[in-house]
Amino acid sequence: MEIKTNEIGNLLRSQIKNIDSDVDVNEVGEVLEVGDGVARTSGLGSVMSSELVEFPNGVFGMALNLEEENVGAVLFGDSSLVKEGDTVKRTGKVAEVPVGKELLGRVVNPLGQPVDGKGPINAKETLPIERKALGVMSRFPVKEPLQTGLKAIDSMIPIGRGQRELIIGDRQTGKSAIAADTIINQKSSHDSDSPVYCIYVAVGQKASTVAKLVAELESNGAMEYTTIVVANASDPAPLQYIAPYSGCAMGEYYRDNGMHSLIVYDDLSKQAVAYRQMSLVLRRPPGREAFPGDVFYLHSRLLERASKLSEDLNSGSLTALPIIETQEGDVSAYIPTNVISITDGQIYLDTNLFNGGVRPAVDVGLSVSRVGGSAQVKAMKKIAGKLRLDLAQFRELEAFAKFASDLDEATALQITRGRRMVEILKQNQYVPMSVAKQVVIIYAASKGYLDDIDLDQVKDFETGLIEHFQSKHSDSLDEIHETGDIGENLEKKMDSAIEEFKKTF
Amino acid sequence: MKQNHKKIKLYSDSFSSLVTNFDEFGSVKEALTVLVSVIKKDSTVNAFVRSKSTDIDKKVSVFQSALDEVFDHRLLDIVTIMLENDDIGLLPDVTKNFLSITKNRLNIAYVEVVSSFDMNEEYQSNLLKQLKEATNKEIDFNFSVDKDLIGGLKIKIDDTLFDSTLKTKLENAKLKLIGV
């Protein structure tokens, strides 16, 4: 074997020359001042709006204010780790989060990093947190129901897949409970061919509240198809600000891949407050209630991303349930009016109803679903068509009856039935009900089968009737479930089954 | 704020007009940087400059007699105007702006080299030569040693940082491991 020793040196030298020296090349700037979760930096001449920038000690930030002299960046980490004169690097990336089914069952922060101690998330894909909402041609009208499992909502304020339905009410009126029940109720969808994946975005809440919710979802088997995005009250305002966008990007993954997803923003009032804090520190001019001028856009661009896609785009959907907390029932405050005008309806929860034992405390008069009607199951539509009106009339008559000593028969009947209707619409927390069972009990009430049942017996009657149907007339429940409709025959079968049960009650 | 912005631009343009080549840039830069540093760090000078009770004419005469020997008279004239208008507090921003506009005008790159080891003169001049060739600009060269970098060096050319230090590589590896 011939070895050309004189060439070895040259070969080695040329190889050494070609070694990639692995030099980090970054566009950098210098921190001019830092405080209140915001850093002002010089340099970074080519930084993009919303681009992630890296500070020392692993602290990341997002460039928001691109000014002539400096760049204002919000910090996602501990601002005490950043000091004047530090170098800040561009990353060239806008803020993005991991997406995909790898996130199911996990609790993550708004940057997509796990906070549940279950190890790293090996997601294969990422999506930018800020994305433009889809245009008109990519969308399709809302036509499939999204069952919440709550009788009061599914019957009178139906929600469709791709809809944005606001849940609004004072503190302690059961807003989060409705969202949690809706998530738990999606479990049944995972036995069908169109499962709904859920994302719960907790903004500015106590960590203990979120931990309680996670435990509840776990015990109900709902975490398997749910991701929790959490920015606690103790997290910096910028994290609370981006949390809904991060969650939305995670939900969009399912939508864009022909699947269905549900996202709960709990709550957007706190996100608006975090945004106000950030904006004031960034020296943006304050407007009404000290919110910046673009606070409407803050929510509109987020909620516009919820949509039902056209068949060409595989018919996926992202349903949004934003939550807004009102102060003393004031729905005409700045943020509530903004979000009411953006969404496709609202579920208004009333403190007096809640305290009066009506739970969920849905105020039927003020609640509305603007597009969900077309997505409602036919059977429910048939029996609940008059429910809303009947209840409204009942409320009016009930108030009137307080002043009248004797009432005519028709009025008395309406009040009797109304009271029973209200009773059957009450529902315990974490006990969502299938649509077939809802149809059976509402059918019984609207047909007057409960009129002669004592008010305090109505709950027992309901439980017994459902058990009776499950044990002896499960075919009727199956038929409602499969066809989603009540034909004449089924109606007769249901009548006889209810009468049969009533005899034994 | 806007008014200050105008003044900063006016003063920095005036300083910049004194500079026609790289050498002049170096001497004006040094003079202004030293002056800013003295006013900022020397408590006696700082108190004197900020004092509202001291007459402006007194301030001007102190500065003129102190800097007459060491400052170019045109440079001193501008500083005097700043004193007379009670604008000497703007000097740090004026200096920053002066550096920025003059560098652009004279095609000068600000280069900061931080090394984990001390470089001899020859090594530094070799590096300077290569930087000139690479950037095709005059180089405002600044060198310092930082042993914390462990190995390798950082070269910052204006807003671009070339970092081959071991410290950064270790930090990057750490971030990768914790999944950031």
Q: Is the pLDDT of residue A10 over 70?
A: no
pLDDT of residue A69: 80
Query: How close does chain A come to B59, measured CA to CA in Å?
Result: 30
pTM, whole model, 2 decimals?
A: 0.83
CB A173 within 8 A of CB A349: yes
**Chain B residues with beta carbon closer than 8 angstroms to that of A109:** none
Q: Using alpha carbons only, how large is chain A's radius of gyration in Å? A: 28
What sign has the CA pseudo-torsion A71, A72, A76, A82? positive
**Chain A residues with beta carbon closer than 8 angstroms to that of B159:** 27-29, 43-45
Among the candidates B50, B76, B104, a domain finishes at B104
In this structure, the answer to whether residues B52 and B87 fall within a common structural domain is: yes
Complex confidence, ipTM = 0.71
The CA–CA distances, whole Å, from A323 to A57, A233, A345, A409, A499 equal 35, 16, 12, 42, 42
In this structure, the answer to whether residues B75 and B148 fall within a common structural domain is: no
Closest CA to A397 of A415, A421, A420: A415
pLDDT tens readout for residues B97-106: 999 899 989 9
Contact A58 B180 (CB under 8 A): yes
Q: What is the CATH number of the domain that holds B33?
A: 1.10.520
- Tokens of residue A446, six digits: 């609207």
In this structure, the answer to whether residues B7 and B93 fall within a common structural domain is: yes
In this structure, the answer to whether residues B129 and B60 fall within a common structural domain is: no
In this structure, the answer to whether residues B172 and B126 fall within a common structural domain is: yes
pLDDT of residue A36: 82
Report the distance separating Cα A398 and Cα A419, nearest Å: 9
DSSP secondary structure letter of residue A343:
S
Cα A433 from chain centre:
19
Question: Is A370 tagged catalytic?
Answer: yes
In this structure, the answer to whether residues B83 and B10 fall within a common structural domain is: yes
pLDDT tens readout for residues A76-101: 988 899 999 999 999 988 989 999 99
Contact A26 B160 (CB under 8 A): yes
Which residues share a beta bridge with A42? A30
Contact A25 B156 (CB under 8 A): no
CB B139 within 8 A of CB B108: yes
For residue B72, the enclosing domain spans: 2-104
C-alpha dihedral, B158 to B159 to B162 to B167, nearest 10°:
120
Residue at token pair 């609640």:
A367
Query: How close does chain A come to B153, measured CA to CA in Å?
Result: 10
Among the candidates B77, B104, B131, a domain finishes at B104
Report the distance separating Cα A158 and Cα A174, nearest Å: 18
Q: Is the pLDDT of residue A6 over 70?
A: no
Contact B180 A45 (CB under 8 A): no
In this structure, the answer to whether residues B117 and B162 fall within a common structural domain is: yes
In this structure, the answer to whether residues B81 and B117 fall within a common structural domain is: no
**Residues in chain A whose beta carbon is closer than 8 A to a beta carbon of chain B?**
21-29, 43-45, 58, 60, 87, 89, 113, 120-121
In this structure, the answer to whether residues B60 and B136 fall within a common structural domain is: no
Q: Stretch A16-33: mean pLDDT, rounded?
A: 77
- Tokens of residue A179, six digits: 């969202």
Quote the mean pLDDT of chain A: 91
In chain A, % of residues over pLDDT 90: 73
Amino acid at A277: Q
- Which residues are CB-neighbours of A504 under 8 A, at least 6 positions away? A468
- Which residues are CB-neighbours of B20 under 8 A, at least 6 positions away? none
Count Cβ atoms below 10 Å from residue B38 Cβ, excluding itself. Answer: 14
Amino acid at A125: E
pLDDT tens readout for residues A389-423: 888 888 888 877 777 667 788 888 888 889 999 99
- Tokens of residue B21, six digits: 């080549």
Residue in A with minimal Cα distance to B152: A23
pLDDT of residue A14: 62
How many independent structural domains does chain B possess?
2
pLDDT of residue B174: 78
CB A394 within 8 A of CB A420: no
Among the candidates B75, B104, B133, a domain finishes at B104
H-helix segments, chain B: 2-17, 22-41, 43-50, 56-67, 73-84, 91-106, 121-135, 166-177
**pLDDT-derived band at A372, boundaries 50, 70, 90:** confident
In this structure, the answer to whether residues B162 and B141 fall within a common structural domain is: yes
pLDDT of residue A1: 46
Nearest CB to B162: which of A23, A58, A120?
A23
Query: How close does chain B come to A22, measured CA to CA in Å?
Result: 7
In this structure, the answer to whether residues B49 and B95 fall within a common structural domain is: yes
Counting as low any pLDDT under 50, the low residues of chain B are none
In this structure, the answer to whether residues B92 and B116 fall within a common structural domain is: no
pLDDT tens readout for residues A37-64: 899 998 888 899 889 999 988 899 999 9
Residue at token pair 């209200």:
A422
Query: How close does chain A come to B97, measured CA to CA in Å?
Result: 10
